[in-house]
């Protein structure tokens, strides 16, 4: 939520940017979910646990992604 508000305030989150953002999110999801399943299997957990972890982690990054102490750019 914080990231969306900051992007909207900076003019980076408009109607013209919706399609590229959805495409980028889909690509990241296609890569992240099988990778999370592989990490779960490699660490001895069930694949479902890897998927849950990826979803929760993705949500947390989307909420907290642009905080100044998380990034080395301003």
Residue ranges covered by each domain of the chain: 2-70
pLDDT digits 0-9 by tens, 35-61: 999 999 999 999 999 999 999 988 888
Output the CA–CA distances (angstroms, integers) from residue 74 to 40, 43, 48, in the order listed.
34, 36, 36
Question: pLDDT at position 66, please?
Answer: 57
How far is residue 66's CA from residue 58's CA, in Å, rounded to a whole number?
A: 13
Question: pLDDT at position 52, please?
Answer: 95
How far is residue 27's CA from residue 46's CA, in Å, rounded to a whole number?
A: 24
Regarding predicted confidence, which is higher, 44 or 19? Answer: 44
Q: What pTM value is reported for the model?
A: 0.64
């Amino acid at each position: 939520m914080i990231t969306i508000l900051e992007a909207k305030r900076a003019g980076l989150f408009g109607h013209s940017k919706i399609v590229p953002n959805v495409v980028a999110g889909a690509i990241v999801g296609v890569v992240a979910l099988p990778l999370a399943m592989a990490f779960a299997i490699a660490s001895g957990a069930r694949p479902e646990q890897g998927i849950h972890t990826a979803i929760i982690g993705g949500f947390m990054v989307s909420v907290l992604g642009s905080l100044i102490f998380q990034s080395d750019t301003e």
